Amino acid sequence: MAAGQKLFGGTETLRHSSPNMELTTTAAEYAKEELVSKRKSSGSVIWRWFGFKVSDEQQNHIICRECNKQVAARGGSTTNLFHHLKQWHKLQYEECVKLRATEAPAASHPQTEKAPALKQSPLQASFSRSVPYEKKSDKWCAITKAVSYHIAKDMVPVATVEQVGFKKLLKTMDPRYELPSRNYFAREALPQMYTEVRQSLADQLANVTHFALTSDMWSSRTCEPYMSVTVHFIKDWELKTACLQTSYFPQDHTGEHIAEALQDAIASWKLREKHLVAITTDNGSNIVKAVELNEWLRMQCFGHRLHLAIGHGMSDKRVTRAISLCKRIVSCFSYSWKKRRHLAEVQIQLGLPSHQLITESATRWGSRQQMIERVLEQEAALAKVLSGDKKTRHLVPSWQDLEVLEAVQKVLKPLQEFTDALSGEEYVTLSYVKPVLHLFNESLLACEEGDSELCKSIKTSILEYLNSKYSDPATTDLLEMASFVDPRFRATYIPSEKVDALKHRAVLDVEMLLADQSSCQPPYLLTVPEPADGEGAVAPKAKKTLASFFKQRTATTTASTLREAIENELSSYLQSASVESDTDPLKWWKDHEVVFPALSHLAKKYLLVPATSSPSERVFSCSGNIVTCHRASLKPDMVDRLVFLAQNL
């Protein structure tokens, strides 16, 4: 090729010493740039080997992906492209021919091999995409209900619907949806949702034969008093919990007023007092008096009682001084960011966990033990930081203080886990109280040889307090019966001299339960089925078989009286196979209800009572998330509705 000759329409070539080595300036430029595919391709396989450089926005210059050379193809024709592959890239050309052959049958049968091409949408369809949904249409109602659910369940302010970010989120997800104003949600959507949820809960409670309550008092950040009431019942052998109300309580918190408010609460839900098994509360004198005035059975909250027992055991002066020192240490680091920064540096130096100190809360169970545990864990780091400042050197714990804190930690550590476990509301807890008290007396709080005098004193004081508070006859009977109907425990933790009396009480209780359901025939009594339609009253006498004698024997051994049937069932229950400790008692009763139909009524009655008043206290945690500083002007009835929805949705 002569110097100055044009290649591919005007590109000059550079001749090298070897006649077989020619490189166009264009190819050198394209080799540096990534190629992109053809826009609006016709679907030809040839475009797998050709493309365009990124800077060629009009895609006028076709480039081979194999050799980076420009190939002319006027008018969109691909003939030159196939010719280029055939001449310079044999292997790629053969592959291209095979691909064209396989795609040819698919092109001849588009209805079976290839998805039909999308038709251009008509103008009317395109226009409808920009038209907002009609108010009260199914789609509009579904999205609006979802927004209402978000406001209620996640406890966000109603004003969220007016925030720019939230509006943009919904507009991006569905441009046709128009978000209503905050007044619509406050006055229509949320009240309607409250009515629906309340009616659904009322329908469930209408068929409840037994229920339990928890209740507590609370004041909002605006100092408005509220009283919460939660209900607990068993449905289809599942433990259910629901918030009945968080009502405004402006009256004096006397026992008489609280008793009247509790009566009004169950009356508003059409619950009958005779179906109330017990109410679990804290140990406030006003709530205790209210329960006594209503003549209800009261279960004292195990968490509060254990918290008070621990406080009773900490009356020693040495313990008081050591705990006071812990509080001052925590306070010192709480109000100084420099001390916290220095503590973090020392923790890294000493290889200690990067944990913050924990503050004791008088109303939070177990917080004292957590504070002591954290101080002991970080003792080396705390001593190094505090000793470096002459103003805080006096806070460095002495060896006497450390010994006292270790003794307290040894006693309290095992008790913390029981408090957390007995605060659940989705599983049975009351039947655990009797075994836990037995475990405290026999193991966890029993004095051992290696215990110090202080440790023994704390254990003894806690045990004496708990045993005295749970020696009340009514409380003891409730705990024993709950443990008795739990298949994991039965009569294991009941004194042997009281087992017979407990059996007799269980039989009488079952008789009373069946008497209330006298309209329903007891499932364990044998009945003779009536002849079906079209059958004669007298059937021909069949010849007796060997099996018929055994059937007759079973029928004749059936108890003739109701009490004997219950006693036989009770004996079978006590002699049945043992159950693993991690078994769900409600699931066990669901599987064995047919075997023990009479005792199943007893289980439904006593296994639903909660051991602590945590459910009501969790309601107030929810209330605190609703009545925030930005929503302090919420009216009491709106607070009640929002808390009800957040708890029951």
Lookup result for tokens 């017979």? 500
* Minimum mean pLDDT range among 23-32, 51-60, 334-343: 23-32
Tens of pLDDT along 545-566? 545 544 444 433 444 588 888 8
Distance CA 448, CA 445 (A): 9
Tens of pLDDT along 213-253? 999 888 877 788 888 999 999 999 999 999 998 888 888 89
**Confidence check: pLDDT of 28 > 60:** no
Written as six digits, the tokens of 566 are 């219950």
Contact 620, 217 (CB under 8 A): no
**Confidence check: pLDDT of 368 > 90:** no
Query: Nearest 5°: phi and psi at 228?
Result: -100, 150
CB-neighbour burial class of residue 322 (10 A; exposed 0-12, middle 13-18, buried 19+): buried
C-alpha to C-alpha distances, 479 to 275, 300, 430, nearest whole angstrom? 18, 11, 7
Higher pLDDT, 477 or 639: 477
Q: Which residues contact 65 (CB under 8 A, 6 or more apart)?
A: 35, 49, 50, 51
Contact 185, 157 (CB under 8 A): no
Written as six digits, the tokens of 248 are 């405004």
Tens of pLDDT along 433-479? 999 899 989 888 888 888 888 998 999 999 999 999 898 899 999 99
- pLDDT (mean) for 127-144: 82
Contact 467, 516 (CB under 8 A): no
C-alpha to C-alpha distances, 541 to 3, 236, 419, 538, 544, nearest whole angstrom? 123, 43, 67, 9, 9
**Confidence check: pLDDT of 32 > 90:** no
Considering only CA atoms, which of 266, 302, 548 is closest in space to residue 418?
Answer: 302
pLDDT band at 10 (very low <50, low <70, confident <90, very high): very low
C-alpha to C-alpha distances, 150 to 157, 158, 361, 517, 632, nearest whole angstrom? 10, 10, 32, 42, 20
Helix (H, G, I), strand (E, B) or coil at 320: helix
User: Among residues of the chain, what percentage have pLDDT more than 70?
Assistant: 80
pLDDT band at 526 (very low <50, low <70, confident <90, very high): very low
Tens of pLDDT along 82-98? 888 888 888 888 888 88
Contact 27, 21 (CB under 8 A): no
Considering only CA atoms, which of 633, 636, 623 is closest in space to residue 218?
Answer: 623
Contact 613, 216 (CB under 8 A): yes
Distance CA 589, CA 83 (A): 82
Q: Which residues contact 276 (CB under 8 A, 6 or more apart)?
A: 210, 211, 212, 213, 266, 296, 297
pLDDT of residue 636: 78
pLDDT of residue 155: 86
* Minimum mean pLDDT range among 240-254, 529-543, 611-625: 529-543
Considering only CA atoms, which of 358, 373, 366 is closest in space to residue 307?
Answer: 366
Lookup result for tokens 């050591």? 322
User: Among residues of the chain, what percentage have pLDDT more than 90?
Assistant: 37
pLDDT of residue 559: 42
Higher pLDDT, 394 or 35: 394
Contact 262, 290 (CB under 8 A): yes
DSSP classification of residue 273: G
C-alpha to C-alpha distances, 182 to 161, 186, 218, 437, nearest whole angstrom? 6, 6, 28, 53
**Confidence check: pLDDT of 530 > 60:** no
Strand-strand pairing, 62-64 and 50-53:
antiparallel
Lookup result for tokens 């044999």? 90
- pLDDT (mean) for 584-590: 93
DSSP classification of residue 132: P
**Confidence check: pLDDT of 30 > 50:** no
pLDDT band at 2 (very low <50, low <70, confident <90, very high): very low
* Minimum mean pLDDT range among 125-134, 303-312, 522-531, 637-646: 522-531
Higher pLDDT, 426 or 595: 595
pLDDT of residue 631: 62
pLDDT of residue 192: 92
SS3 assignment for 156-195: CCHHHHHCHHHHHHHHHHCCCCCCCCHHHHHHHHHHHHHH
- pLDDT (mean) for 403-414: 89
Q: Which residues contact 528 (CB under 8 A, 6 or more apart)?
A: none
Helix (H, G, I), strand (E, B) or coil at 18: coil
Tens of pLDDT along 259-305? 999 999 999 999 999 999 999 998 889 999 999 999 999 999 888 88
* Minimum mean pLDDT range among 175-179, 187-191, 411-415, 548-552: 548-552
Give this prediction's pTM: 0.71
pLDDT of residue 75: 65
Written as six digits, the tokens of 612 are 């602590």
- pLDDT (mean) for 311-338: 90
Q: Which residues contact 206 (CB under 8 A, 6 or more apart)?
A: 270
* Minimum mean pLDDT range among 159-163, 360-364, 576-580, 607-611: 360-364
Residue type, 377: E
pLDDT of residue 114: 45
Sign of CA dihedral 583, 585, 591, 596: positive
pLDDT band at 324 (very low <50, low <70, confident <90, very high): very high
Written as six digits, the tokens of 42 are 């016709």
pLDDT of residue 365: 67
pLDDT of residue 628: 64
pLDDT of residue 45: 81
